[in-house]
Amino acid sequence: MATRITLLLLMLYLSCTECQNNCSTTIPSLISHERDLMRCLNAGYDKAIRPVAKSTDTLNVTINMMLLQILKLDEHDQTLEANGWMQLKWTDSQLKWDKSQYNNIDHINIPTDRIWTPDIVLLNTAERKESFVIGHKHATVDYNGNVIWVPHMRLKAYCKFDLHRFPFDTQDCKFLIGSWTYDKTKMEVHEPSETIRKFAWDTREWDITEYYVTHKTYSFTRGSVVSAVDTYPYLMYTLVMERQGVFYGTVLVAPAVLMAVLILCTFIIPPECNERIGLGVGIVITLTLVMTVVDDYMPTEISEMPLLFMYILFDLIMATLSIVVSVIVLNCSQRSVRKERVPVFIRKVLLGKVKAMCCIRQTGYNTITLVDSGHSTEASGLRASESIMTEQELEMPLPKSQTMALDRVLDDIRMYLRDLSGRGPSNGNQAASSMGIPNMPSHQELLLEEWRLLALVIDRVMFWLFLVITVIVSLAILSH
């Protein structure tokens, strides 16, 4: 029994030893084959030489660029910065092997600093550095010599932005990808056969509407020889973006529209109110600040002025004109002494037809009534609401000598009655009315009332004029 157990243990020991020997010999064999393959590929390899069988052959390079995210779009400097991946494919005639001699190894990863790589650059770059590749230093090579290199890239390109419809604009930015030194006879670039992918992550500010690639060429003359013209191929990746203008519409467009409404409100304030000029100045300051914010998004040189900038400039002009009109209106309504009436032409136009068109009713000293305590209004032939000074009388020039004499007599009577009653000017006027003396205003008060009426008509005319102009310009600009 003991002999059988000993034989069984001996057999187990021998089998484990044989398994360990097989494993230890298999793993080094795989490593040695890959090491031998790497030594074979690097033996005599010159990465400075184009990997073609003949010097007259053209090397074909396929470029597929997938953008991941827009990092920054600078309207002022007209640059677009983005990151993504770039897939480069070409065939290297020096990197071929028989996979049966290397334990059926059909592909291998090789550091890119040991093999030839195409000098693909961003032709319209906005950075000083030449290469935009920032990672992935290994390329995958199969036994047929097909090389696939997928580096990570960071692009910063010049773009010509059209900000005419800012902030509801659509921009198309182009990335020009091609070789820096090899012309069309040495290396040809091709767009990918499969559909290129769009952004992996959508941006909050921009909607990507189109992303496509086209093959282009440009010519370059070598030295002073006119006939020696080299043609360089490149791929133009076009990115079409539409701005999401909700934020900018709230921050920039809405204040501009509200300022236009406030400009109209300055003509609703009574003519004698001095705060209307302060409101106009506040509107001008606000529009100046909004214009400064918009200017930060504008490039230093633009071919066409943005519509939003034009609308803010229009508001600024209207606000300035409203301040000028307010000064004229205050000058008409706030003077305490007037020596002359409103000029005849202005009186006929503004205080006649225009006043009627603006639906302004004549109030104040122009509706003066006569009350007789001893007689009824019917007996006296006058109605309580009848105006002593009619429109025809207002159109006639007042006789200065008679009016001034009458003013002095009436003023003396009022002062006497006021001193007699001791209860203020209103009681004096009532007493004068009870004695049959009409409660008529002085000549100076009539002049002031006429000028105040002129200020009211100017306000109403300017309100409707500014309203019509603002509506037309707003619809014309904001509809685009």
Report the chain's mean pLDDT, rounded to a whole number.
Answer: 75
| Contact by Cβ (8 Å): 291, 312 | yes
| Contact by Cβ (8 Å): 72, 81 | yes
| 297, amino acid identity | Y
Structure tokens at 186: 């040495």
Cα separation, 337 vs 190, whole angstroms: 88
| Contact by Cβ (8 Å): 100, 228 | no
Average pLDDT over residues 419-435: 50
The distance from CA 104 to its chain's CA centroid, rounded to whole angstroms, is 60
| Contact by Cβ (8 Å): 239, 70 | no
In which band, very low, low, confident or very high, does the pLDDT at 268 lie, cut at 50, 70 and 90?
confident
Average pLDDT over residues 378-391: 37
Cα separation, 252 vs 238, whole angstroms: 29
How high is the pLDDT of residue 17? 45
Cα separation, 355 vs 302, whole angstroms: 47
How high is the pLDDT of residue 234? 93
How high is the pLDDT of residue 233? 93
How high is the pLDDT of residue 318? 92
Cα separation, 165 vs 297, whole angstroms: 13
Any idea which of 36-40, 366-370, 422-426 has the lowest mean pLDDT? 366-370
Query: Which of 89, 173, 85, 170 minimizes the C-alpha distance to 125?
Result: 173
In which band, very low, low, confident or very high, does the pLDDT at 337 lie, cut at 50, 70 and 90?
low
Any idea which of 41-55, 157-171, 414-428 has the lowest mean pLDDT? 414-428
Cβ of 368: how many Cβ atoms within 10 Å? 15
Cβ of 92: how many Cβ atoms within 10 Å? 23
Give the residue with greater pLDDT, 198 vs 437: 198
Cα separation, 67 vs 154, whole angstroms: 9
Percent of residues, the chain, with pLDDT higher than 90: 13
How high is the pLDDT of residue 356? 63
Cα separation, 203 vs 192, whole angstroms: 25
How high is the pLDDT of residue 415? 63
| 145, amino acid identity | G
Long-range contacts of 250-258 (CB under 8 A, 24+ apart): 251/293, 252/167, 252/290, 252/293, 252/294, 252/308, 253/167, 253/308, 253/478, 255/286, 255/290, 256/287, 256/290, 256/308, 256/311, 256/312, 256/315, 257/474, 257/478
Query: Which of 89, 117, 234 minimizes the C-alpha distance to 175?
Result: 234
Average pLDDT over residues 230-256: 87
Give the residue with greater pLDDT, 390 vs 279: 279
How high is the pLDDT of residue 228? 66
How high is the pLDDT of residue 407? 61
Starting at the edge strand that comes first in sequence, how are the strands of the sheet with 229-243 ordered?
120-122, 170-179, 229-243, 206-221
b/e string for 261-292 if b means 16 or more Cβ within 10 A?
ebbbebbebebebeebbebbeebbebbeebbe
Average pLDDT over residues 183-209: 76
Any idea which of 222-231, 241-250, 277-286, 369-378 has the lowest mean pLDDT? 369-378
How high is the pLDDT of residue 392? 46
Instruction: Return the residue matching tokens 């910065």.
Output: 81
pLDDT at 89 over 50: yes
How high is the pLDDT of residue 378? 35
Fold of 59-244: Acetylcholine Binding Protein; Chain: A, (2.70.170)
Structure tokens at 156: 């910063």
Query: Longest Cα pair distance anywhere in the chain, in angstroms?
Result: 160
How high is the pLDDT of residue 189? 93
